[in-house]
Amino acid sequence: MSLTGYRTKRDVAADLLREAILGGELAPGTRLILDELSARYKVSLTPIREALSQLEREGFVTQAAHRGAMVAALDRDELLELYAIRSAIEELATLHGVPRLTDRDLATMGQLLDAMEAFKGSWDAFLDIDLQFHRTLYGAAGSRRWLDTIEALWRRSRRYMLSSTSVSGAVATLHSDHRAIYQSCCAKDVPAAAAAIRAHLQQSEERLLRDWT
């Protein structure tokens, strides 16, 4: 991880802990003991404590009196909530973003689509390319607040994506979804692009929900 100079120690600690949770190094239900985390990540206690409060707000950590901090459990109700909110705001960003996509944006999306279709690496790395593809579209809407909100929701959703046992059969569907989104964007067909985003998120939600059936 690249640690840039302008970030606070709290930000560094939060990034390290978030990455460990997303990667499964800190599993759901793991107790988060300040002294152990401080020694493990070579960050003093105060930034660790502040980072845990930040991660609690983001939904990665729970804290309770007399129990301390723990990695938050994966929860079916949270998954449903995340995808309901994502569907609404990502469709909104698509409606505003598609008309403003530049030739450069479309070229970037095309390159990222090719990269996803040719990708042979880890699921985690694939999701990084997927995120860049969607970020290009949503970023064209021009709202930093929308993009920040979407990225916060992505971070929480990523825990479910990485822990899912039903991703092995998803690749072909994901490629088809992204191709439909891209073609609609190239045609500047706003309703079709919004419909493709809705369908993509609905299928992703249904796939992840299979882990609770």
All structural domains of the chain with their residue ranges:
9-71, 76-212
Query: Could you tell me the pTM of the whole model?
Result: 0.83
pLDDT value of residue 33 = 94
Look at strands 68-71 and 61-64 and give their pairing. antiparallel
CA neighbor of 146 nearest in space, from 94, 70, 98, 106: 94
Res. 45 pLDDT band, cuts 50 70 90: very high
Tell me what the pLDDT averaged over the chain comes to.
Answer: 91
Whether residue 190 contacts residue 137, with contact meaning beta carbons closer than 8 Å, is answered with no
Fold match between 9-71 and 76-212?
no
Contact 175, 117 (CB under 8 A): yes
DSSP output for 21-44: HHTTSS-TT-EE-HHHHHHHHT--
Nearby residues of 81 by Cβ (< 8 Å), 6 or more positions away: none
What is d(CA 98, CA 190) in angstroms, rounded to the nearest whole number?
Answer: 6
CATH code of the domain made up of 76-212: 1.20.120.530
- What are the residues facing 69 on neighbouring strands? 32, 63
CATH topology of domain 9-71: Arc Repressor Mutant, subunit A (1.10.10)
* pLDDT for res 66: 76
The three-state secondary structure class of 63 is strand
State in Å, rounded, how far the first CA of the chain is from the last one: 36
For 6-20, 47-61, 107-121, 174-188, which range has the lowest pLDDT when averaged over its residues?
Answer: 6-20
pLDDT at 53 over 70: yes
Pair of tokens at residue 211 = 């882990």
Q: 191-211: per-residue pLDDT in tens? A: 999 999 999 999 999 999 988
- pLDDT at position 3 is 40
